[in-house]
């Protein structure tokens, strides 16, 4: 018990120079047991510290999905703005923490809330190429690169050459020729306005 109190006092001291609150510090370090102990002792799950971060902001900032789930289950508000830093969802999307984004969305985080600079979580995720997060934020999202004019896209593609059908009246006149050839010969059998060419090997009879 004495060790526990000493540890909590240490967290409070660290909070003055670190995350701003003892709960925020415990969340940042991923200390689940201490987070639970602080909450059970009445710590405010939505308290703000340095930079107006709530504990949930710290969980999102460090990608602590277990901490985020614990805080959300204890009533943490997902849409609190931390000044120019935005919401927890803004942070998770910007730094590529997919599971935290998923948890926040499930608990009602607003994907359309912009940060101080007017950037939404979707725009921040797109800027860094986090495809899975982009799909979570907008399942119907189409990248601008894929939304280009189809006519422009086709300019860079090879064009298939298709042979045109030959008109009958453009063919040379058909002839009639019958002549046995020696060795490996060619027998040409023709009728009026028809031509058939057959290649064959001369048989033993010489025909």
Give the pLDDT confidence of 144-161 residue by residue, as tens digits. Answer: 654 444 444 434 444 444
Mean pLDDT confidence for 88-101: 98
22 & 116 share domain: yes
Closest CA to 78 of 37, 38, 45: 45
First to last CA, the chain: 114
Question: What is the domain range of residue 179?
Answer: 168-199
173 & 135 share domain: no
Higher pLDDT, 46 or 141: 46
Q: Return all residues near 37 (Cβ < 8 A) that are at least 6 apart.
A: 4, 8
Per-residue pLDDT band for 59 (boundaries 50, 70, 90) equals: very high
Report whether 123 contacts 117 (CB < 8 A).
no
Helix (H) / strand (E) element for 38: namely helix 32-40
75 & 30 share domain: yes
Mean pLDDT confidence for 66-77: 98
Tell me the two tokens of residue 31. Answer: 């200390």
Its pTM stands at 0.62
Residue 30 has pLDDT above 70, yes or no: yes
Residue 202 has pLDDT above 60, yes or no: no
Angle of helix 32-40 relative to helix 2-17, nearest 10 degrees?
100
**Model pLDDT, residue 77:** 97
Q: Is residue 141 part of a domain?
A: yes
Q: Is residue 49 part of a domain?
A: yes
Report whether 63 contacts 32 (CB < 8 A).
no
145 & 46 share domain: yes
């Amino acid at each position: 018990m004495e060790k526990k109190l000493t540890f909590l006092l240490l967290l409070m001291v660290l909070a003055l120079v670190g995350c701003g609150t003892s709960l925020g510090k415990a969340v940042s370090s991923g200390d689940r047991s201490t987070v639970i102990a602080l909450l059970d002792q009445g710590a405010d799950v939505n308290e703000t510290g340095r930079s107006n971060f709530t504990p949930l902001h710290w969980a999102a900032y460090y990608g602590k999905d277990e901490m985020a789930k614990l805080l959300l289950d204890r009533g943490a508000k997902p849409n609190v703005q931390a000044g120019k830093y935005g919401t927890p969802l803004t942070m998770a999307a910007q730094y590529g923490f997919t599971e935290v984004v998923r948890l926040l969305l499930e608990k009602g985080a607003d994907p359309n809330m912009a940060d101080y600079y007017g950037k939404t979580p979707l725009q921040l995720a797109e800027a860094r190429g986090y495809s899975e997060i982009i799909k979570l934020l907008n399942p119907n999202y189409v990248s601008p690169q894929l939304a280009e004019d189809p006519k422009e896209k086709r300019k860079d593609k090879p064009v298939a050459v298709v042979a045109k059908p030959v008109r009958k009246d453009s063919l040379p006149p058909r002839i009639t020729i019958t002549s046995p050839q020696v060795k490996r010969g060619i027998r040409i059998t023709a009728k009026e306005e028809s031509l058939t060419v057959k290649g064959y090997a001369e048989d033993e009879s010489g025909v």
